[in-house]
Structure 1
Amino acid sequence: MTDTDGAEPDDPDARTDTDSSDTDAPSLGASVSDESNRCDFCRLPCPTDPVTLERESSVYEFCTEACRDAMVESDRVFTEYHGFRRILNRRLWLGQVPPAGVPRNSFVLLANDEGSRDDALRAELVWRALERDEPAAVVTFTEPAISVVEGFLSLDWNVLPYLESGQLHIVDCFTYRMDDRDRERMFERMDEWNRHIYGITERVTRTVRDPTDVIELHNKLDNCLEGLEMSDCGVVVIDSLTEFGTLVQPVQAYNFVKDVRADVCKGRFVPVFAGATFTSEEDTFPHDLGYAVDGIVDMQVNGSIVEDTLIKRIRIRKMNGVLAIPEWVAYEFTGATDSSPSTRWPR
């Protein structure tokens, strides 16, 4: 799943493969190193005179003796620099802005207005991960698991094979509101199609008995990621920190976000994208989390640009570690018109 290694030392391709994120437009103050000056093991630039090694008539260059020794002991080398990996998908808007993609160890807040369809953006983030053959986990506070799946299907993204294979999991923090009798009634009221979806989804859904118990919530999420073997791959989306904030005390809410960022983003190198709907109290959780998260994406519904029309706009306000120009871009989500469903972004 992860591409942490890829070419044998004697393979000439090992000296030419590069990460596209390393060769995109450079930021101010940075220089793009020539490929010939990169370490033949870790793929980082060599800022000083390289350490050399001659092997089978080929001369290899390394940034450190440690890299040279590691190559001698290993049968493979890195084909790209992996110390600061990014999500880079040109079909996804977040893969175009910033141009270098989103760092994999990021906790990103999707700060949105009502009606901005942030649910569709979260769905696309998951879908693109599945397309890359990576696992994904959805944490839902605002709707049951079956509704999450229906949201994908409404965009023509058939996630049923990924649910069946176990590549997509759902952490259910919604149905705690229903007792056993209510759940039975819900199932009885389903038509054949919804029962079919429910049967597929149930096997990969982890239900949190009490989401107000932050320890249980964190453990269920951790168990989910362990089951998916999610490390340096995949994506986690949380539908609503705003709803989560209504369930627990503010201190618990802040600590949960910080703990997830530390454990999942920094510890596992798995990005988390969490929705947060704007309220009138902008100085309260989760809208005052700017200092504690790595990225903030603003999704706005603006009625002042075109008369009698609401325009959806998106921008990256903050993204640590990469160049991001905070420009507003108009957008809309539509269903697929061919066999390759995608979100329609203006060019």
Structure 2
Amino acid sequence: MDTTDDAELCDFCRLPCPTDPVSTECDSTVYEFCTEACRDAMAESDRVFTEYHGFRRIRTDVSGLDKFLPQGFPRNSFVLMANDEGARDDALRAELVWRALERDEPAAIVTFTEPPISVVESFLSLDWNVLPYLESGQLHIVDCFTYRMDDRDRERMFERMDEWNRHIYDITKSVTQTVRDPTDVSELHNKIDNCLEGLSMSDCGVVAIDSLTEFGTLVQPVQAYNFVKDLRADICKGRFVPIFAGATFTVEEGEFPHDLGYAVDGIVDMQVNANIVEDTLIKRIRIRKMNGVLAIPEWVAYEFTAGKGLVTFDPLAEMRETYEGGERDDGDPRGEDDASGADDPRARDPGSGKMGLGERAETNQ
């Protein structure tokens, strides 16, 4: 039997049958399976798979990412978010978590750089009200930040809170697991595992880690590498739960966590680029790597908008639209000959090596 799109699909697993199918009849209906194992499993099961590998691939629901992942991404992926300072990777992680919550999936956030209240505020600043998800227990936080404070400092912090922050604290504390000593990798791993157990997180939900860079300052390199590999094995491969972990470029590129490319399933680059528009920093994002699916590694400019999240745009096209038919800042009217914006000093010079939106990443290496 051929394996083209016209090939028959197994009535249990929904995979194509590359050989003669195994048939069985039930209530005058003939069912065909790719293996005897699938035939026997159907006889013992009360349901069948409804789509081919649908349970392994999901969409992020972040438009700026899904556009370049047309097949979605494997659910069992560990994705490194390598970013420049100022790229707002925290907002992207917040959106990834928010989209999971909107899909009625659980989510866990591991925070090394911010206290839980600040994590919640980052959602609220984007008009994403996570308070109901905290109250229902759908969203949990693993706190690896407040270990820096002793009991006296914690009391003083609470006393200094205004009424609003105390309200957030009261909602958040029941779903927060505080790691006493994040340098103890065993305790940290156990806290994360307990968090996921409490959420019954298996083949659903997401985990977001704010900074592997910060974690790398707490432990020896060997411990850091083993921790990442163990999380990937236990959570991504064992539970089929994706992890999105941030890594800010503040250390040498060849050091942890920026040399983890071989050990992770996906890499998202977030860059602050000064070469597209003169005197302006433009944020750009691309999917550098995603195992198991088609990934289009194109740079695209982005910003974050409250309520919408990551929004992509073409800075050069928007600049041309702004200048077309109008007046320059110095008051000189623009004529038809220069309506394209080619003589705008901030526009891209084809010979300067400055990149336009959507150009392939290879041209900027």
Give yes or no for contact 1:89–1:101 (8 Å, CA) kept in 2.
Answer: yes
Give yes or no for contact 1:245–1:253 (8 Å, CA) kept in 2.
Answer: yes
Partner of 1:16: none
1:152-211 Cα shifts (integer Å, max 9, x gaps): 010111111110010100000000001111111111111111110010000000000000
Q: 2:67 aligns with which of 80, 96, 120?
A: 96
Partner of 1:263: 234
Q: For the residues of structure 2 that align with 1:221 and 1:90, how far apart are their CA atoms?
A: 25
Give yes or no for contact 1:86–1:104 (8 Å, CA) kept in 2.
Answer: yes
Q: 1:168 aligns with which of 126, 139, 153?
A: 139
Query: How many Å apart are 1:91 and its aligned residue?
Result: 4.4
Query: How many Å apart are 1:280 and its aligned residue?
Result: 4.5
Query: How many Å apart are 1:323 and its aligned residue?
Result: 1.1
Q: 2:305 aligns with which of 334, 344, 347?
A: 334
| Correspondence 1:144 to 2:115 | yes
Q: For the residues of structure 2 that align with 1:35 and 1:243, how far apart are their CA atoms?
A: 52
Query: How many Å apart are 1:326 and its aligned residue?
Result: 1.0
1:22-51 Cα shifts (integer Å, max 9, x gaps): xxxxxxxxx985376211111111111212
Give yes or no for contact 1:94–1:101 (8 Å, CA) kept in 2.
Answer: no
Q: For the residues of structure 1 that align with 2:282 and 2:250, how far apart are their CA atoms?
A: 19
What secondary structure sits across from 2:305 in the alignment? coil
Give yes or no for contact 2:62–2:96 (8 Å, CA) kept in 1.
Answer: no
Partner of 1:8: none
- TM-score with structure 1 setting the length: 0.86
Query: How many Å apart are 1:59 and its aligned residue?
Result: 2.4
Query: How many Å apart are 1:83 and its aligned residue?
Result: 7.6
5+ residue gaps, structure 1: 1-30
Q: For the residues of structure 1 that align with 2:61 and 2:297, how far apart are their CA atoms?
A: 18
Identity %: 82
Greater Cα shift, 84-93 or 99-108: 84-93
What secondary structure sits across from 2:310 in the alignment? coil
Partner of 1:51: 22
Q: For the residues of structure 2 that align with 1:280 and 1:190, how far apart are their CA atoms?
A: 34
- TM-score with structure 2 setting the length: 0.82
Q: 1:236 aligns with which of 207, 221, 234?
A: 207
Distance 1:158 1:117, change over 3 A: same
Q: What letter corresponds to residue 293 of structure 2 in structure 1?
A: V
Q: For the residues of structure 2 that align with 1:32 and 1:237, how far apart are their CA atoms?
A: 39
What secondary structure sits across from 1:344 in the alignment? strand
Partner of 1:11: none
5+ residue gaps, structure 2: 315-365
What secondary structure sits across from 1:37 in the alignment? coil
Q: What letter corresponds to residue 99 of structure 2 in structure 1?
A: R
Distance 1:181 1:213, change over 3 A: same
1:287-325 Cα shifts (integer Å, max 9, x gaps): 011111111110000000111111110011111111112
The 5 Å alignment of 1:167-316 reads: 167-316=138-287
| Correspondence 1:125 to 2:92 | no
What secondary structure sits across from 1:259 in the alignment? helix
| Correspondence 1:107 to 2:78 | yes
Number of equivalent positions: 313
Query: How many Å apart are 1:90 and its aligned residue?
Result: 4.4
Query: How many Å apart are 1:70 and its aligned residue?
Result: 1.5
**Which stretches of structure 1, 4 residues or longer, exceed 6 Å deviation after superposition?**
none
Distance 1:218 1:181, change over 3 A: same
Partner of 1:13: none
Query: How many Å apart are 1:120 and its aligned residue?
Result: 0.5
